[in-house]
Structure 1
Amino acid sequence: CARRIGELKKESSRSTWDPRREREIYERLLADNGEKFPEKAVKSIFHEIITACRLAQKNVEVAFLGPEATFTHLAGVKFFGQTAEYKAQESIDEVFREVEKGRVAYGIVPVENSIEGAVFSTLDSFMKYRVKICGELRLPIRHNLVCQSGDIKDIQTVASHYQPLAQCREWLRKHMADVPTLEVFSTAGAARMAANNPNIGAIASELSVKTYNVQVAVSGIEDYQGNTTRFLVIGRQSPMPSGSDKTSLLLGMADRPGALNEALTVLSAKGINLAKIESRPIKGKQWKYLFFIDLVGHIEEPAIKEGCSILQQICAHYEWLGSYPKAESSEAVGEHV
C-alpha cells in the first residue's frame, strides 16, 4: 500500500513527505487516544510507522556527523526513524557537500545549543553551499564521562567534541582540574578512542557506551540542566506548509546607517515574529557580516512572502534558506541519550 502511494505521488510529481498531512494524522491519533496511553508513547510508535511507510515509498539516505552513535546520529534516527540509511561524515562541511552534490537526500547538522550558543561551522556552511532547510528538532543532551574500566582514576586525558567540553567545563574544572582535555571531531570518535586506550576518558552519549563497549565512570556531567541542542535537516527542497512553520533567511545589509533597523522594521510592520538573529563574518571581507534570521511562519504565507519580497529589494544580500515545520518541545530521548 505504501509503495503504491509512492508511485502515485511520483506520477503526480508530489513529494513523498507532506508535513501538513503528517501533523493532521498525529492530531487525529492523539484525539482518538484520549488519555488511554501516554501521549509521547503514541507519538513515538506512530512516528516509526509513518517514517517506515515514507521510506517504503522512496529509500532515503541521510548524511550526519559521524561516526556512529554521535548525538547528530541520534537526532537523525529521531527524525527519520531506524530504517533510513545513514552515511557518516567526518565533518559538518562534508554533510553539506554530500547534500549539495545530490549524493544523499538529506543531511542533519547541529545549529545551536541552549548553553553554548551557535554552532559556527554549520552557519558558515550555509554561506558556502546551496541547500535548503527541510526541518528541525531539539534534543535534550545528557553527557557521560566514559572509559574502558569505568573508573575515573584511570583517566589521564578527557577527549570530546569542543561543544561537550565547553558544556562540561565547570564539572571538569571542579573534579578533574589536573587532567588535560583533547578536542576531537565528534563525541563518538572520542568514545572510540576511549575504547582503544585505557587512559583516555570521553564525554559521550549512552548510545556510544553501547556501541563502543565502554563503561560509564560518571553520568550527567553537563554543567546546566535543560541542556538542549537544536538540529537542522537539510536537503535540496523545502517542504510544503505544515500549519506551524519557520522560515530562515541569510541577509547582508547595505553599508549605511540604520540598514539593519530598516530590515527589522519591515518584519515588525508585517506582524512577523522574529525567532532568532545571529551574525557571522564574511570570510575574506574584513568587518563585513551576514545575518541568519529565523521567522515564525512559512514563505507561502502572505505576510512572510510580502516581507521577504521587500527584504530582497533593500538588502545587499538576500537568500531564502528554507521554510520548514517547527520543532515540537524537546523530547526525552530515554536510554539512547
Structure 2
Amino acid sequence: MYSLARSLLFNLDPETAHGVSLRALESLHRAGGVERLFGPAVSDPVELMGLRFPNRVGLAAGLDKNADHLDALGALGFGFVEVGTVTPKAQPGNAKPRLFRLAKHGAIINRFGFNNQGVAHLVENVKRRRYAGLVGINIGKNLSTSVDDALSDYLTCLEAVHGVADYVTVNVSSPNTPGLRTLQFGAQLDALLAPLRERCTALDESAGRRVPLLIKIAPDMSDEEIALVAQSITQNGFDGVIATNTTVEREAVAGHAHAEEAGGLSGRPVFEPSNRIIRALRQKLPDLPIIGVGGIDSPAKARAKIEAGADLVQLYSGLIYEGPGLARHCAKALAEQAGEAR
C-alpha cells in the first residue's frame, strides 16, 4: 500500500510531499485510522536517564519542527517523539528549493535552516498533546543570532520548554546554520554546555522534576574531535548524546544529480558514519545513554545500531522510503533483540 502512495508522493516536489504526507496522516489519525491500519504500539519498556521509554524506537527531530502533528506521528508506534529544532523566534529558514531526494541511495539532502514558528508556538502544541509516549524537544539558535551570542538563544529555549519536555536536546550539529558546528568542540562547547547544565539543574529543582539534557552531534568527526566531545559531555554532566545528525560528506552519493547541493545528507549513506561515532562514544563513555540515528531503513539496521552501542534509536529518512510501518517493525525487532540478550 505504501509503495503506491510513495509513487504518487515522489511525483511531487519533496517539500510539498512532506506537507501533504503530514496533513494526510493528521486526517487519518483524527478519524481513528492510524491504529486500525498499523495496530497497537510495541510494548518494550526501558529505563534510561530516569525516564521510562515505552519502546526503543523514536522519531528524530526535524520531521515535525513545530509539534503540529505530535499525536498523529506518535500513533505510528514510536516510544518517543523528538520535535524541533525550535528557536526563540519564528524564522522562515533558507530559500526553496531546500529538500532533495536521492532515491537511488535511499538518501535525502536538506538545507532547511531551522525553519520553525518559534518556541512559544511549539510549547503550546506540546501542552495539548494526547500522545502517551515521551517527548523530546530539540533546541537551537536563530540565524540572526551570532555564534558568539548563541548561548542566550539556547537558554531562552531551555527555559521555555523545560516545563513540557521529557528531555531536551541541544543541537550544535546542523550544517545549515552558518558557524553552528564550531560550537561542538573544546572551549566553545564547554562555554555552551556548562551554563545550560547549571540553568537546567536550577529549573529541575524549582519544578521538582528532572529533565535530562542531551547533545546532538555530527558524524563528520575525527577520533580527536570525538574525544573532545566525550570529555565535554562528561565534564558538564550531560545525560546523553544523540549520534548523529546529517553529514556534509558526499563521497557515497558522488555522481548523483543532487550530490553537490548544499545541506546535510541523511539516510542510508549515514548509516556507517553514525555507527562509527556510536562505537567510539561507547568505548569512551561506557555508561552514557546513546540514541543512535542515521540510515535506519529496516529492522536489521535498527538492531545493528544497538549492536554498535546505542541504547535507543531514531528514524527519519527511512520513513520516507519504507513507509510508516517502519517504526513498529523496528520496535518489534529491538524487543526481540533485548529478549535474546537476557
Which has the greater radius of gyration? 1
Fold match by TM threshold 0.5:
no
User: RCO greater where, 1 or 2, for CA within 8 Å and sep 6 or more?
Assistant: 1
Q: Which has the higher strand share?
A: 1
Q: Which has the higher helix share?
A: 2
Give the TM-score taking structure 2 as reference length.
0.27
Give the TM-score taking structure 1 as reference length.
0.27
